[in-house]
């Protein structure tokens, strides 16, 4: 069943007895997750090499340091990309399997003028990538 973009943001989800929209729920999750857990989760879904590209770090060793907690502070722009990618993966993961989520990140997206979401996030177009994910869910990957 396709959901409208508005439904994605307001579809009732219950967490701890409080009803929130799906968009609100995944945003809260992305805000509360630790850098280590976000890195670990995204590394499993996207692969470490793709994740390093998405968050704009030079190599996977940096991700290993984030995941282990050896680095307590990361650049704000890198953390913004990490949390945006996590929010998007969490949103898509509510409706799709991990292989589809990964394929969405690397595929050309009509909502992003045929740029891949991985490239969009890498280039700092976080809101556009999130909107593309919402569109993918709302319209079954058809764009808007």
pLDDT along the chain (144 residues), means of 10: 41 47 88 94 96 96 92 90 96 93 96 97 97 90 46
In 3D space, the residue among 48, 138, 139, 110 whose CA is nearest the CA of residue 85 turns out to be 48
> Are the CB atoms for 15 and 27 separated by under 8 Å?
no
Rg (C-alpha) for the chain, rounded Å, is: 15
Say what the pLDDT of residue 90 is.
Answer: 94
Residue 115's H or E segment, with its range, is none
Say what the pLDDT of residue 15 is.
Answer: 45
pTM over 0.75, yes/no? yes
Any idea where the domains of the chain sit in the sequence? 21-136
> Are the CB atoms for 110 and 143 separated by under 8 Å?
yes
Say what the pLDDT of residue 18 is.
Answer: 46
Contacts of 52 (CB under 8 A, 6+ apart): 58, 59, 60, 62, 63
């Amino acid at each position: 069943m396709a959901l409208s973009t508005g439904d994605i943001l307001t579809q009732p989800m219950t967490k701890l007895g409080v009803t929130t929209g799906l968009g609100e729920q995944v945003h809260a999750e992305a805000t509360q997750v630790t850098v280590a857990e976000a890195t670990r989760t995204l590394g499993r879904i996207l692969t470490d090499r793709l994740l390093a590209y998405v968050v704009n770090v030079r190599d996977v060793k940096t991700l290993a340091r984030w995941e282990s907690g050896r680095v307590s502070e990361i650049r704000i722009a890198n953390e913004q990309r990490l949390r945006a990618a996590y929010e998007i993966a969490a949103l898509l993961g509510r409706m799709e399997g991990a292989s589809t989520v990964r394929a969405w990140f690397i595929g050309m997206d009509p909502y992003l003028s045929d740029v891949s979401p991985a490239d969009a996030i890498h280039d700092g177009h976080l809101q556009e990538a999130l909107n593309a994910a919402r569109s993918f869910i709302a319209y079954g990957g058809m764009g808007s």
